[in-house]
């Protein structure tokens, strides 16, 4: 695995395809990956922006997104603010249906 230190997003207008060039910490140049759709490119951009660290395996083409524990803990605290999360609401609905 190689840490991604930067990236650029490329839209090839003739082919109507999206590509990402990834700058890698341990390799010169850029590794390039293709994305099938605009939705896929948007998802990849979101993940690149949200992740604490991004790793790329040139042998398999696999991209791994790592998120810090503090980020996960913050999301849990938001759900504990007294407002039920979507999961809690669906569990309450199931319990009410089962009781009836």
If DSSP states are collapsed to H, E and C, what string results for 70-95?
HHHHHHHHHHCCCCCCHHHHHHHHHH
Quick: pLDDT tens for 3-18. Answer: 999 999 999 888 888 9
Residue 31 contacts residue 24 (beta carbons within 8 Å): yes
Strand partners, 24: 4
pLDDT at 94: 56
Exposure string of 20-40, with b = 16+ CB inside 10 Å and e = fewer, is: bebbbeeeeeebeeebeeeee
Residue 68 contacts residue 74 (beta carbons within 8 Å): no
- Rounded to whole angstroms, the Cα distance separating 69 from 79 reads 16
Quick: pLDDT tens for 35-47. Answer: 988 999 999 999 9
Residue 54 contacts residue 3 (beta carbons within 8 Å): yes
Res. 91: pLDDT tops 60: no
Res. 90: pLDDT tops 60: no
Whether the model clears a pTM of 0.75, i.e. scores above it, the answer is no
Q: Can you tell me whether residue 8 is helix, strand or coil? A: strand
């Amino acid at each position: 695995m190689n840490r991604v230190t930067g990236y650029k997003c490329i839209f090839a207008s003739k082919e109507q395809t999206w590509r990402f060039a990834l700058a890698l910490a341990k390799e010169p140049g850029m590794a390039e990956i293709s994305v099938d759709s605009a939705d896929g490119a948007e998802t990849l951009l979101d993940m690149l922006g949200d992740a604490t660290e991004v790793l790329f395996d040139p042998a398999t083409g696999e991209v791994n997104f790592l998120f810090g524990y503090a980020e996960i803990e913050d999301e849990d605290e938001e759900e504990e603010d007294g407002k039920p999360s979507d999961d809690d609401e669906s569990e309450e609905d199931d319990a009410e249906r089962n009781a009836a």
